[in-house]
């Protein structure tokens, strides 16, 4: 004997039970009309059962009101309702279809057809004279028959007009399929039902049971499902992800818009990978160096999104590693979702042997076809550097020589000032030339300097400018001429020198003889001064620069690079000359008791500047001579100690 209720008095005979919610006193039966033999669905609400409430009874009344206004072939028709001694019944048209909650294997194309059919139903509801929001779209409430006809059922939570739900209202819907605005009793819009449909389609695509949908939702209410979808089925990920955006403003505005976007998209379309390099080659110049190259990854296929991650193919010499971490090859970013991105591949040579060639394969895993791409990586590590052995005794000797030179020059500032200015202006040029092994034409520089001094004196004496200004101005002109002569290699000839001297004497005599009886003596002093400058440059050529080159060559032989050796030599010269000038000026001021003159004159500022310059030259020299050799020595020792633990090619 059947335990089903007897509805024969109402013209219906129950065949089977389709579902129940005993807590709420709701039961669903499959029955047939006794007169017409038409199959129907009877929903019984037993409000006398424990747990049933009148609010749920009122929900049935709302559902009847909604169903009476609907006339759509994919929404089961409302037929009638009647009361029973223990409850209330509603009769609907029966559709021979199963709910999507039953796990089956769906192809992406079939899921797209289901999505299109469901969206057409939602378009109808949203275009209703009073738009209807279903509010409980989930796999259990969508039916599909063998002909792929889709039906939407259970309008118990449906709301006509949408709008804002009052704070006192009970949240109605199913967790995991309710959008955040519905979950938090906020404004319900036409985009709200799209969230439930999108979550339903994700269940079909990933094979996730509806009761487990919560396991895919993160703390920000995003449904993370891409990792569950095979690469060849990811053609419509962007559309699905937009359907379930937590913020309704980022979803499609309504079902019609979502339907249009889905129809025009090719769910079978896959991204295509374009890589700017077919291989990567690195060459290290020193051990422990990190080298980086940039690769551009792009996807030219519209309406698709390229998702990729990098890894390094296993190699017998590498320590065990995960797909996301490797001992000496790293990626930034290691994972990305973009159709145009630049990725940095960095190799760290601090764990590798020196002077070896390493070959590896890096893999780009993608959601395209093929699923991964392989790029060869080749790295040539730097050789082990030689130990640095500075010769401190030689540097001390050079310091004494230049100290004496500076002391002698400082006895008369007339010689000191013009010589010092071009010397330091030329310092950078000479250092570069020495480091590169180029020959510096000192005689040409001396000649250019001498001629520029003569030209300066000729003009300035003719105009009657003070002597000190003449020296400084002439020195600046000489420095500029000599500066450019190093690069050009072109120097004035002897004829020009003689003509210049003759012009200087003539113009000087003509001008000074008119008003100044001592004009000839002035010209003679100028000539002697320029001659002394020439001798100073000859001295630099004969002694100074050979010593600079000797010091540089000696340090190159002791393991220093060419540029380092040239810097050591020139910094030593600069420091020694600067210190000798400073000490000699102080010494002379003490002897002559000219402290007041020294403080009030421009020489005070000059000596302070020289002191700052000397100190600034000392720091890089200490770095080159002490810190760098010690650092390199420690490096060589550490490398030899860790040799057995380093990664082999």
CATH of the domain at 52: 3.30.200.20
What pLDDT sits at residue 258? 94
CB 176 within 8 A of CB 199: yes
What pLDDT sits at residue 144? 96
Flag whether 641 is in a domain.
no
**Cα–Cα distance, 198 to 188 (Å, whole number):** 16
Flag whether 3 is in a domain.
no
For the stretch 555-564, what's the b/e string if a residue is b when 16 or more beta carbons lie within 10 angstroms of its beta carbon?
bbeebbeeeb
Judge if 623 and 604 occupy the same domain: yes
What pLDDT sits at residue 520? 47
**Cα–Cα distance, 557 to 547 (Å, whole number):** 15
How many angstroms separate the Cα of 227 from the Cα of each of 131, 308, 390?
36, 11, 61
The rounded percent of the chain whose pLDDT value lies above 70 is: 65
Domain final residue pick, 65, 93, 121: 93
Residue 590 CA to chain centroid, in angstroms? 62
Q: What is the 3-state secondary structure (H, E, C) of 211-278?
A: HHHHHHECCCCCECCHHHCCHHHCCCHHHHHHHCCCCHHHCCCCHHHHHHHHHHCCCCCCCCCEECCC
> What is the crossing angle of helices 519-539 and 442-463, to 10°?
160
**Cα–Cα distance, 363 to 355 (Å, whole number):** 26
What pLDDT sits at residue 163? 47
**Residue 358 reports pLDDT greater than 70:** yes
Give me the number of domains the chain comprises: 4
Judge if 158 and 113 occupy the same domain: yes
DSSP state at residue 145: -
Domain final residue pick, 93, 125, 146: 93
Query: Which helix H or strand E contains 420, and what residues bound it?
Result: helix 413-425
CB 580 within 8 A of CB 402: yes
CB 349 within 8 A of CB 329: no
Q: Which residues pair with 43 in a beta bridge?
A: 28, 90
| pLDDT, mean of residues 426-433 | 47
Which among 407, 455, 648, 445 is positioned nearest to 545, based on CA atoms?
445
Q: In what order do the strands lie in the sheet with 307-312?
A: 280-283, 372-380, 357-366, 307-312, 335-337
Judge if 125 and 68 occupy the same domain: no
Judge if 483 and 564 occupy the same domain: yes
Judge if 478 and 575 occupy the same domain: yes
Question: Could you please report the per-residue DSSP string of 193-204?
Answer: HHHHHHHHHHHH
Average pLDDT, the chain: 76
> What is the crossing angle of helices 108-126 and 192-206, to 10°?
160
303 vs 525, residue with greater confidence: 303
Judge if 179 and 282 occupy the same domain: no
Judge if 356 and 499 occupy the same domain: no
Q: In what order do the strands lie in the sheet with 274-275?
A: 274-275, 290-298, 340-348, 329-332
- Between 68-82, 151-165, 429-443, 627-641, the lowest mean confidence (pLDDT) is in 429-443
- What CATH number does the domain containing 360 carry? 2.60.40.10
Flag whether 329 is in a domain.
yes
Flag whether 593 is in a domain.
yes
Flag whether 422 is in a domain.
yes
Q: Quick count: other Cβ atoms within 10 Å of Cβ 383?
A: 13
> What is the crossing angle of helices 494-515 and 442-463, to 10°?
20
CB 177 within 8 A of CB 213: yes
**Cα–Cα distance, 192 to 173 (Å, whole number):** 11
Judge if 112 and 88 occupy the same domain: no
Query: Which helix H or strand E contains 45, and what residues bound it?
Result: strand 39-45
Judge if 106 and 249 occupy the same domain: yes
- What CATH number does the domain containing 180 carry? 1.10.510.10
What pLDDT sits at residue 413? 44
Judge if 580 and 520 occupy the same domain: yes
Flag whether 343 is in a domain.
yes
Torsion of CA 524, 528, 529, 532, to 10 degrees: 180
Give the model confidence (pLDDT) of 68-99 as tens digits: 999 999 999 999 999 887 778 999 999 999 99
Flag whether 531 is in a domain.
yes
**Cα–Cα distance, 175 to 595 (Å, whole number):** 92
> What is the crossing angle of helices 467-488 and 413-425, to 10°?
30
What pTM was estimated for this model as a whole?
A: 0.50
* Sign of the torsion formed by the C-alpha atoms of 591, 596, 600 and 604: positive
| pLDDT, mean of residues 581-610 | 62
Give the model confidence (pLDDT) of 261-309 as tens digits: 888 777 777 788 999 999 999 999 887 889 999 999 999 887 677 878 8
**Cα–Cα distance, 231 to 629 (Å, whole number):** 55
**Cα–Cα distance, 642 to 640 (Å, whole number):** 6
Which among 481, 455, 606 is positioned nearest to 537, based on CA atoms?
481
Q: Which residues pair with 307 in a beta bridge?
A: 337
**Residue 511 reports pLDDT greater than 60:** no
Judge if 225 and 185 occupy the same domain: yes
Domain final residue pick, 235, 264, 293: 264
Judge if 459 and 600 occupy the same domain: yes
Q: Quick count: other Cβ atoms within 10 Å of Cβ 169?
A: 10
What pLDDT sits at residue 226? 80
**Residue 38 reports pLDDT greater than 90:** yes
**Cα–Cα distance, 326 to 319 (Å, whole number):** 8
What pLDDT sits at residue 70? 93
How far apart, in Å, do the first and last CA atoms of the chain sit?
Answer: 82
Host domain of residue 621: 392-635
Flag whether 259 is in a domain.
yes
């Amino acid at each position: 004997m059947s335990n089903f209720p007897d509805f024969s008095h109402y013209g219906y005979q129950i065949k089977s039970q389709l579902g129940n919610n005993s807590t709420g006193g709701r039961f669903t039966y499959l029955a047939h009309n006794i007169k017409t033999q038409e199959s129907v669905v009877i929903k019984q609400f037993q409000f006398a059962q424990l747990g049933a409430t009148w609010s749920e009874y009122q929900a049935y009344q709302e559902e009847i009101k909604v169903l009476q206004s609907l006339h759509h072939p994919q929404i089961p028709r409302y037929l009638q309702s009647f009361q029973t001694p223990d409850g209330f019944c509603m009769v609907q048209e029966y559709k021979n279809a199963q709910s999507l909650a039953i796990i089956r294997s769906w192809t992406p194309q079939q899921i797209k057809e289901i999505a299109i059919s469901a969206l057409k139903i939602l378009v109808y509801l949203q275009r209703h004279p009073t738009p209807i929001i279903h509010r409980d779209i989930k796999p259990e409430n969508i039916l599909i028959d063998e002909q792929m006809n889709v039906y939407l059922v259970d309008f118990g939570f449906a709301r006509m007009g949408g709008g804002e739900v009052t704070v006192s209202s009970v949240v109605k819907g199913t967790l995991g399929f309710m959008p955040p605005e519905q979950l938090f009793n906020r404004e319900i819009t036409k985009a709200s039902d799209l969230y439930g449909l999108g979550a339903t389609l994700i269940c079909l695509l990933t094979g996730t049971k509806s009761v487990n949908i919560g396991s895919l939702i993160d703390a920000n209410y995003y449904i993370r499902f891409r990792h569950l979808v095979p690469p060849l089925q990811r053609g419509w990920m962007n559309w699905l992800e937009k359907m379930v955006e937590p913020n309704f403003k980022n979803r499609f505005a309504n079902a019609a818009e979502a339907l249009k976007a889905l129809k025009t998209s090719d769910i079978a379309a896959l991204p295509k990978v374009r890589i700017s390099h077919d291989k990567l080659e690195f060459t290290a110049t020193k051990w422990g160096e990190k080298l980086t190259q940039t690769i551009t990854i792009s996807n030219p296929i519209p309406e698709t999104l390229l998702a990729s991650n990098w890894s390094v193919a296993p190699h017998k010499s590498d320590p065990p590693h995960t797909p996301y971490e490797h001992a000496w090859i790293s990626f930034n970013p290691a994972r990305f979702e973009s159709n145009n991105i630049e990725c940095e591949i960095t190799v760290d040579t601090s764990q590798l042997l020196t002077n070896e060639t390493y070959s590896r394969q890096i893999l780009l895993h993608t959601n395209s076809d093929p699923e991964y791409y392989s790029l060869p990586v080749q790295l040539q590590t730097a050789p082990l550097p030689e130990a640095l052995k500075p010769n401190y005794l030689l540097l001390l000797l050079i310091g004494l020589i230049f100290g004496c030179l500076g002391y002698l020059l400082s006895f008369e500032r007339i010689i000191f000032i013009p010589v010092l200015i071009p010397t330091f202006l030329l310092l950078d040029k000479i250092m570069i030339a020495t480091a590169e092994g180029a020959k510096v034409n000192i005689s040409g520089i001396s000649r250019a300097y001498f001629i520029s001094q003569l030209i300066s004196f000729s003009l300035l004496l003719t105009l009657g400018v003070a002597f000190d200004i003449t020296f400084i101005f002439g020195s600046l002109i000489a420095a500029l001429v000599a500066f450019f002569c190093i690069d050009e290699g072109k120097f004035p000839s002897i004829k020009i020198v003689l003509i210049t001297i003759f012009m200087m004497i003539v113009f000087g005599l003509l001008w000074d003889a008119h008003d100044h009886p001592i004009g000839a003596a002035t010209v003679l002093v100028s000539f002697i001064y320029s001659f002394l400058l020439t001798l100073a440059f000859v001295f630099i050529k004969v002694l100074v620069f050979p010593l600079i080159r000797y010091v540089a060559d000696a340090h190159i032989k002791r393991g220093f690079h060419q540029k380092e050796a040239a810097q050591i030599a020139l910094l030593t010269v600069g420091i020694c000359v600067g210190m000798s000038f400073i000490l000699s000026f102080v010494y002379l001021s003490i002897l002559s008791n000219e402290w007041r003159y020294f403080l009030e004159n421009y020489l005070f500022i000059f000596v302070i500047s020289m002191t700052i310059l000397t100190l600034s030259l000392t720091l890089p020299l200490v770095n080159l001579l002490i810190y760098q050799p010690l650092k390199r020595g420690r490096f060589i020792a550490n490398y030899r100690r860790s040799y057995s633990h380093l990664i082999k090619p």
